[in-house]
Amino acid sequence: MVPPSSKRYPDWLSDLAAAYVRKLPHRGQGRVLDLFERLSGRRRWNARTNHGFRVSLDRGDMTQWHILKHGEWDAEVAEALSRRWSPDDVFYDIGANIGFFSLQALAEDLRFVVAFEPFAALARLMSDHVRANGFAESRYRIEPTALGAHPDSLTYMPGPPDNSGAGKLLPSSPGDGNENDITVKVETLDGFLARTGSLPPTICKLDVEGFEREVLEGARTLLGTSPPHTIVFEADCDSAFSIADKSLVELLTGAGYRIEHLARDAPETKENFIALHSSSHHEP
């Protein structure tokens, strides 16, 4: 079974395309794929990832093209999560995009997964992916909401067509942005847990384009009473990989975490970090 948006592609053809992209890189490869896509009338590939699950990918989107080309997204994050979690863990994927890390968690048999993605088109695509891979509905929950420091309605600015991962919340009133902006519901993580009675997270990933501190501000009860043993997050930093938002660092260290850098192959102005709680008995 494959996502509806990619049913025209037999799995073997997508696998052949992925192998071509990953193992035979050459100049002009993009033009070859352009030709095939024009002839077929579609842009999506039902590609297998390095972790065994499949995702429907549009190579016009930076994130999705990277997954098609490399078989995964943010390899350093995928490796760190896999090293830190176990089947007993409950994973919260905050800023899930198309659900790559949620799917990884489900493929690696974690106890339960909750994914937060406020942009409806991405949440629907993630839902397609989870169902297409045959994961039981009892093992996951997709929340089409954003998380923040307090309940609110905020403006969400979607990323451009070639970079869906750049979508972000704006600290302004609804209606202050451009015509593509939408209003989204924001709740706190503490509020979500109280409202739903969901299992609290034992491991989290945050990728919310600069809203990480706000998300954690809204999780102070969780951090004080039942802190996740691991929080992986993205943050702006300088050339020495010092996190720019010192209040984010203070919040995490004050809650008992030590922070380590997860290096990319090529350094960027935004890097990934891992926060490890002092009470954790997990191996680093």
* 138, 203: one domain: yes
Residue 282 located in a structural domain: no
* 25, 80: one domain: no
In this structure, what token pair is assigned to residue 192?
Answer: 């979500």
pLDDT at 173: 54
* 30, 166: one domain: no
Q: How far is residue 134's CA from residue 3's CA, in Å, rounded to a whole number?
A: 11
Q: How far is residue 190's CA from residue 195's CA, in Å, rounded to a whole number?
A: 9
pLDDT at 41: 67
* 133, 269: one domain: yes
The tokens 């002009």 sit on which residue?
Answer: 28
* 170, 82: one domain: yes
Of the candidates 25, 40, 67, which is a domain's last residue? 67
In this predicted structure, the answer to whether residue 107 has a pLDDT above a threshold of 60 is: yes
> Using 50, 70 and 90 to split pLDDT, how confident is the model at 10?
low
pLDDT tens digits, one per residue of 183-212: 899 999 999 999 999 999 999 999 998 899
Of the candidates 20, 48, 67, which is a domain's last residue? 67
Of the candidates 67, 90, 106, which is a domain's last residue? 67
Q: Running DSSP on this structure, what letter comes out for residue 166? A: G
What is the domain count for the chain?
2
pLDDT, mean of residues 138-157: 93
> What's the mean pLDDT when you consider all of the chain?
89
Is 153 or 141 the better-scoring residue by pLDDT?
141
Collapse the DSSP code of 120 into the 3-class scheme (helix H, G, I; strand E, B; otherwise coil) and give the result. helix
Nearest Cα to Cα of residue 215 among 148, 273, 144: 148
Q: How far is residue 218's CA from residue 91's CA, in Å, rounded to a whole number?
A: 17
pLDDT at 234: 94
For the beta carbon of residue 226, count every other beta carbon within 10 angstroms.
11
* 107, 180: one domain: yes
In this predicted structure, the answer to whether residue 230 has a pLDDT above a threshold of 70 is: yes
Which residues, 6+ apart, have CB-to-CB distance to 62 below 8 Å?
162, 163, 164, 165
Burial of 227 (0-12, 13-18, 19+ CB in 10 A): buried
Q: How far is residue 96's CA from residue 99's CA, in Å, rounded to a whole number?
A: 5
pLDDT at 124: 93
Domain that holds residue 44: 4-67
Half-sphere exposure of 78 (CA within 13 A, CB side): 19
* 158, 89: one domain: yes
pLDDT at 179: 72
Which residues, 6+ apart, have CB-to-CB distance to 190 below 8 Å?
218, 219, 220, 221, 222
Residue 150 located in a structural domain: yes
Which residues, 6+ apart, have CB-to-CB distance to 95 below 8 Å?
116, 117, 205, 206, 207, 208, 209
With pLDDT > 90 as the criterion, what percentage of the chain qualifies?
A: 66
* 139, 79: one domain: yes
* 83, 31: one domain: no
Whole-angstrom Cα Rg for the chain: 19
* 27, 106: one domain: no
In this predicted structure, the answer to whether residue 129 has a pLDDT above a threshold of 90 is: yes
The CATH code of the domain that includes 108 is 3.40.50.150
**DSSP per position, 25-83:** --TTHHHHHHHHHHHHT--EEEEE-TTS-EEEEETTSHHHHHHHHHSSS-HHHHHHHHH
> Using 50, 70 and 90 to split pLDDT, how confident is the model at 134?
very high
pTM (2 d.p.)? 0.91
pLDDT at 281: 61
* 89, 31: one domain: no
> Using 50, 70 and 90 to split pLDDT, how confident is the model at 118?
very high
Residue 163 located in a structural domain: yes
φ, ψ for residue 191, nearest 5 deg: -65, -40
In this predicted structure, the answer to whether residue 272 has a pLDDT above a threshold of 80 is: yes
Residue 284 located in a structural domain: no
pLDDT tens digits, one per residue of 24-39: 988 888 888 888 788 7
Residue 257 located in a structural domain: yes
Beta strand pairing call for 146-147 and 257-262: unpaired
pLDDT, mean of residues 94-121: 96
Collapse the DSSP code of 6 into the 3-class scheme (helix H, G, I; strand E, B; otherwise coil) and give the result. helix
* 214, 188: one domain: yes
Nearest Cα to Cα of residue 205 among 283, 123, 90: 90
